Every structure is written in structure tokens, then in C-alpha cells.
Structure 1
Amino acid sequence: MSNRIALAGQRMLITGASSGIGCATALAAAERGARVLMVARRHAELEKVAAEIAERGGTAHVYPCDLSDSQAIDDLVKEVLDQHGGVDVLVNNAGRSIRRSVRKSVDRMHDYERTMRLNYFAPVRLTLGLLPAMREQHFGHVVNVTTQGIQIHTPRFSAYLASKAALEEFGRTAGRELAADNVTFSSVRMPLARTPMITPSESAFRGIPALSAPQAARLVLRAAHTRREVINVPGARVLDLLDVATPSLMRRLVHRFGYRPRTEPETDQS
């Protein structure tokens, strides 16, 4: 099994491609010669990105789809398979984030359900739909954009982090099952990135270093190119070590600096 992918000529499907990290990833992948298949709810915005890719000499196809709709995902899979025969690289980037404390969520089970629907069930359904074609061609790679928050267990993000942790574990397990089929999975543990998704909570993140969308896209493309199981930013492994070596200290520190109940608003991001 080859461990690296040259993206030129690869069919690369990217969800959440109308803005933010997904848009930046689509632009960067097209520049490297990938045939980009862009998925998002907003058709007009997708067309704008596709036009920019075409102006730069790249190839892009637009697929408007509401990924919270299971039937829409099944229709998307059928259309992609009919038109392209399959994909080589799938980037599960689309997602939503709800920033709300557990104690204020006791009567909001729907927050957890809708977050899981888009962040976990949607990418799993899309992956499973495209998987048979990957196995048949004996090649495929899935990039799941997760979050560095699952290493910190960031307060107020229990719905979001649970959905991303589930997606990462699905990918790591599936990748070990499907190694003989040359189908691999990466998890990009994305740090904070300045994108439209964090705008509702921007005041809470003031002063915290964050990546730009193009910087975040480089992490996604590194995952696609190298096929490494987990992509971390430098220093992120220290968080894992500290959590194992000094769990009580980490819990106290994260609680003290990550949870201030009187001063920080609750927000719904998507």
C-alpha cells in the first residue's frame, strides 16, 4: 500500500466547501491539480468558489446538499457515482458547533441530536455510501476534520466534542479494518480557526491564537497527501501526555481557565 497521494488528477469531494476551511481546501486542492467536488447547502456560494477555481485553471463540480437530510445524502452519493464513478479522497469538513454549558442543556436534548446528525451521522452515511466504490478500485482516503478540543475536553462544548470524538473513532476503527482494501482514514484535530463558524463566539476567543482558513486547509491537505492517521499541530501531543500523566491538574486548569459561568455567553454556531 502506497502511503502518500499525489493529489493531481484525484477526485476529491469536500463538504462544507462554500466558505471557511472547506472553501480554502477546495481552492488549494484545485491548485494542486485535484478534480474538486464541492458540497454545501448554499448553491450560489458554491458557484462563486467554482468560478474562482475555473479562473485559476482548475476543475470544480458543484453539489448543493443539506447534509442534515439523510435522503439528500443518498441522492448525492448516487449522483456522484453516476457522474464520476466514485471519489478518491473524501473530506468530511462540514459541521456545526453549539457552545452551551451542560447545566444549561438539561432541557435541550435536541442540541445534542442535531449536532450528532450533522457532525457524525452525516459524514458516516456519506462515507459508507462512497465506500464500495473505493474498495472496488482498491484505493480511497477519508479525511475527517475533528478538533483539538477532544484533547482538552473544552468546557461548554460537550455536544460538539462528543460528535467529533465519535467521528474520529469511527475513522480510526474503519481504517484499521479496511487496510487490506487500501482505504485509509485521517483525523485532523483542528485547532481554533478564524472562520464564519466561530463568529457567534468570537468574544470568548479573544486573545487566543487561531489559524486562518488557508492555514487550516494546509492541515487538511497534509492529511490527504500523507494519509497519516492523526494530524496534530506542533505541541498538541503534549496535551495528550499531560492528560494521561496529570489528569487532576488538567481538569482543574481547564475548569479554571475554560469555564467562567458568569461572563461568557452561550452560542449556537453552524
Structure 2
Amino acid sequence: MAIRLLYPTFRPAQESLRAAATGQVVLVTGASHGIGKASARKLAAAGAVVLLWARSRPELERLAAEIAAGGGVAHIYPTDLTDMDAVGLLGRTLLAEHGHIDVVISNAGKSIRRPIAESYDRFHDFTRTMDINYLGPVRLLLTLLPAMRARGQGHIVNVSTWGVLMPPSPRWSAYGASKAAFDVWLRSVATEIAGDGVTTTSVYMPLVHTRMSAPTDFHRIPGLTVDEASDLIAHAVTAKPREVAPWWAVRVQAWSAVHRYQVQRFMERRFRH
């Protein structure tokens, strides 16, 4: 109940989702597990042609077989999002094989929680999160956007985090910086592509209990289930809002901007050894 007060869930009516999804070519990155997998299932069941992107071929094959058994259509594209040449090539392949992409759900992500004192010899933590959370999605969209703009339609859903809207959190520097980078990039690009009929939705997810969040002990913090999180993705595809965010996010942003230095001092005292 607490998470629903903090972060209302959206579950579009099945007829609305089917009207929005039927016949649409939907690319889902990070489709082998968690939110991406649940979203792909939901959109395929609503009539979308889903393109499943992740590194794990066996996981994608199992999901595609499950979708096909339910009467849906799915194609698999096992590719590493950190391989920029492969990402560009696959983007061109998708356009060649399917003609166009209607919806891109940029869901693949990597989370790292580590104090800076334990990160001095782990520069790869920062490059890895940047590659997966920022540079890979940018490389993909640079390939797909020209075709979307030429067609005069397309929708991009960014599965972000509510941490982007909050004051910076200690121990989350690699993850927070990479998610913020793509968030700013997409919102900037959105102002340029809107006139060509291409829209974007930023979904600022709260905690979702997934394989990615499991390494951190969040058992005392209320969070969404994977199914509830995929409902937010379905809502983004159906209603196409500019953003899906906690009702209190704007208030917190405004307060933290006014009291920026007080917030910084509080964090410094809270995490002082």
C-alpha cells in the first residue's frame, strides 16, 4: 500500500493497450529478464510484434517460444549493448528486416552501488555503466531516429529511475551519473524531434524488486513488482505521456534546488565516517 501512495501504478485497460499495440513493431532492450521480459510479454499479448534484445540467446529463445505459444509474434536479437559497432549494425539490420520501428523501449540497464573509497581501482564500473545506461542507447537511437523522423512517427520509452529526480545519493555515483546522462540527452533530443512526430516518455521508476536490485538489501523498502513496473511501460506506450513520475517529484526537486547546500551538508554529515 505504501508504494501506491508514493508512486501510483497505472494499468491501461486491455482494449486501450490492444488498440495502441496491435501491429506495432516494438523493440525492447534488456528483454531477457525483469521489467523488459514482462513488458515484452504484455505487449506481445496485446498484438505487438516484439523485437527482443539482450545478450543471452537462450533466455531470448525461451521467451520468444513462450510468446509464440500464446499466439504472439517475437523475434530475437542477441547483442551486447556495450559493443557500439554491433549496436549500430543491429539497428540497421532491424530497419532492413522490419522496415521501421514504431516503439523503442530502452530498458537495458546496469546498477552498481559502491562507496567511492572502494572504487579507486575500479574505473571499469564507470565505463561499464556509461556504456550500458547511456552510450549504447544513444548509439542505437542515432541509427533508428532518422527513419522515425522520415516516417513522421515513432515513440521512445526511457526506463529511467526516480533517483534522477532526487538529490545525488552517496554510493550510487556510477549508476546515477549514467542514468542522468541518458535522461538529459533524451529530453534534449525530444525538443528537436517532436516536430517530426516522434515522441518520448521518461518513466522514472521507483524501486522494483528484480534481479538487478537484488544485490542491495532493499527488503525494508517498499517497491513495485515486475508486473506492476511493466504496467507503467504499457501505460507509456498507450497514453504516451512526456513522463511518468511520482506525484511529489516536482515538489522535491524545487525544494532541493532552493536548499541545495543544506541537502549537501546533510548528506556529508550522514555519511561521515
Whole-angstrom distance in 2 between the partners of 1:107 and 1:228: 41
Whole-angstrom distance in 1 between the partners of 2:221 and 2:272: 16
Q: 1:176-233: CA deviations, max 9, x gaps?
A: 10111101122111111011111211x2x12001111111111122222222222113
Relative to structure 1, the CA distance from residue 19 to residue 256 in structure 2 (aligned partners, 3 Å threshold; closer, same or farther) is farther
Letter in 1 for 2:90: L
Relative to structure 1, the CA distance from residue 107 to residue 29 in structure 2 (aligned partners, 3 Å threshold; closer, same or farther) is same
Whole-angstrom distance in 1 between the partners of 2:208 and 2:251: 20
Letter in 1 for 2:57: H
Secondary structure at the counterpart of residue 25 of structure 1: helix
CA shift, 1:82, in A, is 1.3
Whole-angstrom distance in 2 between the partners of 1:260 and 1:43: 45
Whole-angstrom distance in 1 between the partners of 2:63 and 2:252: 36
Mapped pair 1:36 → 2:55: no
* Alignment equivalent of 1:165, drawn from 159, 180, 189: 180
* Alignment equivalent of 1:193, drawn from 208, 215, 226: 208
State the match for 1:53 in structure 2.
Answer: 67
* Alignment equivalent of 1:14, drawn from 28, 32, 35: 28
CA shift, 1:72, in A, is 1.4
Letter in 1 for 2:20: A
CA shift, 1:21, in A, is 0.5
CA shift, 1:156, in A, is 0.8
Whole-angstrom distance in 1 between the partners of 2:174 and 2:117: 12
Mapped pair 1:235 → 2:243: no
Q: 1:134-156: CA deviations, max 9, x gaps?
A: 11211011111111111222221
Letter in 1 for 2:238: H
Mapped pair 1:218 → 2:231: yes
Whole-angstrom distance in 2 between the partners of 1:101 and 1:220: 31
Whole-angstrom distance in 2 between the partners of 1:260 and 1:64: 44
Q: How many residues align?
A: 255
Q: 1:143-174: CA deviations, max 9, x gaps?
A: 11111111222221111111111111111111
Q: 1:99-144: CA deviations, max 9, x gaps?
A: 1122332332221111101110000000111111111211011111
Which residues in structure 2 correspond to 1:33-112 (within 5 Å)? 33-112=47-126
Moved over 6 A (4+): none
* TM-score, structure 1 as length reference: 0.88
Whole-angstrom distance in 2 between the partners of 1:77 and 1:177: 21
Root mean square deviation of aligned Cα: 2.0
Letter in 1 for 2:70: R
Letter in 1 for 2:93: E
Letter in 2 for 1:208: I
CA shift, 1:254, in A, is 5.3
State the match for 1:144 in structure 2.
Answer: 158
Relative to structure 1, the CA distance from residue 84 to residue 110 in structure 2 (aligned partners, 3 Å threshold; closer, same or farther) is same
Relative to structure 1, the CA distance from residue 217 to residue 198 in structure 2 (aligned partners, 3 Å threshold; closer, same or farther) is same
Whole-angstrom distance in 1 between the partners of 2:266 and 2:40: 37
State the match for 1:268 in structure 2.
Answer: none
Relative to structure 1, the CA distance from residue 196 to residue 133 in structure 2 (aligned partners, 3 Å threshold; closer, same or farther) is same
* TM-score, structure 2 as length reference: 0.87
Identity value in percent: 45
Q: Which moved more, 1:217-226 or 1:120-129?
A: 217-226
State the match for 2:222 in structure 1.
Answer: 209
CA shift, 1:243, in A, is 1.6
Letter in 1 for 2:137: P
Q: Which moved more, 1:101-110 or 1:218-227?
A: 101-110
Relative to structure 1, the CA distance from residue 260 to residue 25 in structure 2 (aligned partners, 3 Å threshold; closer, same or farther) is farther
Whole-angstrom distance in 1 between the partners of 2:272 and 2:58: 39
Name stretches of at least 5 consecutive residues in structure 2 with no aligned partner. Answer: 1-16
